[in-house]
């Protein structure tokens, strides 16, 4: 779903061998080829690294990658946009940062777009013990833990190990896409494609390569990432609503 119209659409580039070599300098980052498609993956233990979410700074200005880097360049390991957003660049659904709910959960239905039409949508959560969770939005009311960070997006790619049955393996609805999963050892897995892919292909990657039971789609054609020493293309100075970052503590 794209609520905000952006005139500049990013052109995705395959990751060259020189960039793959640079990736060895960052143990969390992995260029991945799966079924002929190319991706960048960041897999990490959330108990060992600092995970943060951003929408607006203290002055109320929306972040871009450039303003985010100005704040965190000395510690940043990886960053990407963290979900869908409205025309005013506010999160489309639940957004919790530093334990504070910036936007409440959105359980609306029958509206246009993937978030509303390809149910269920879901939520990535980091609890106060730094344990990562991905749940369906409808499950949020009954969670037994305190939420430190959360971002709601959709659709769910994997639900308890099963690929969302709204997806077709032969779908021609392809785009640059990014998503988040949690593997069977509790690691968080952040992935962005550098080729255009469909939902089914992205879900398969989380399931078969990374052993995730649950995975959540973040966003589509404007999705970007930043990883020091591993950058397939320059980030554009455009606001992307919400960001998630992984840094050294």
Nearest to 191 by CA among 227, 155, 160: 227
Averaged over successive runs of 10 residues, the pLDDT of the chain (249 residues) comes to 31 35 60 96 96 91 84 83 90 96 94 90 98 98 98 98 96 97 97 97 98 96 82 62 91
CB 222 within 8 A of CB 60: no
Contact call for residues 37 and 195 (beta carbons, < 8 A): yes
Domain boundaries, the chain: 27-247
pLDDT for the residue numbered 231: 60
Model pLDDT, residue 120: 96
Tokens of 241: 């609503």
> What is residue 121's predicted lDDT score, i.e. its pLDDT?
96
Q: What is the pLDDT of residue 10?
A: 28
* The pLDDT value given to residue 8: 28
SS3 143: coil
Three-state DSSP string of 20-59: HHHHHHCCCEEEEEECCEEEEEEEECCCCCEEEEECECCC
Q: What is the pLDDT of residue 16?
A: 35
pLDDT attached to residue 222: 82
């Amino acid at each position: 779903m794209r609520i905000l119209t952006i005139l500049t659409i990013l052109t995705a580039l395959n990751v060259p061998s020189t960039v793959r070599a640079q990736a060895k300098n960052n143990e969390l980052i992995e260029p991945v080829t799966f079924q002929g498609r190319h991706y960048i993956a960041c897999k990490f233990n959330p108990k060992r690294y600092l995970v943060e979410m951003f929408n607006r700074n203290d002055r109320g200005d929306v972040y871009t990658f450039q303003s985010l880097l100005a704040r965190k360049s000395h510690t940043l390991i990886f960053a990407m946009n963290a979900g869908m957003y409205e025309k005013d660049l506010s999160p489309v659904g639940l957004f919790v940062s530093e334990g504070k709910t910036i936007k409440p959960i959105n359980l609306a239905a029958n509206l246009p777009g993937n978030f509303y039409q390809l149910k269920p949508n879901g939520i990535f959560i980091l609890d106060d013990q730094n344990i990562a969770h991905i749940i369906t939005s409808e499950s949020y009311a009954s969670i037994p833990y305190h939420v430190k960070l959360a971002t709601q997006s959709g659709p769910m790619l994997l639900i308890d190990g099963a690929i969302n049955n709204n997806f077709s393996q032969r779908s021609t609805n392809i785009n640059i896409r990014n998503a988040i999963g949690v593997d069977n050892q509790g690691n968080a897995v952040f992935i962005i494609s550098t080729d255009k892919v469909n939902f089914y292909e992205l879900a398969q990657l989380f399931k078969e390569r990374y052993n995730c039971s649950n995975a959540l789609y973040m966003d589509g054609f404007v999705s970007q990432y930043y990883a020091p020493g591993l950058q397939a293309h320059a980030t554009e100075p455009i606001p992307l609503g919400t960001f998630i970052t992984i840094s050294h503590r």
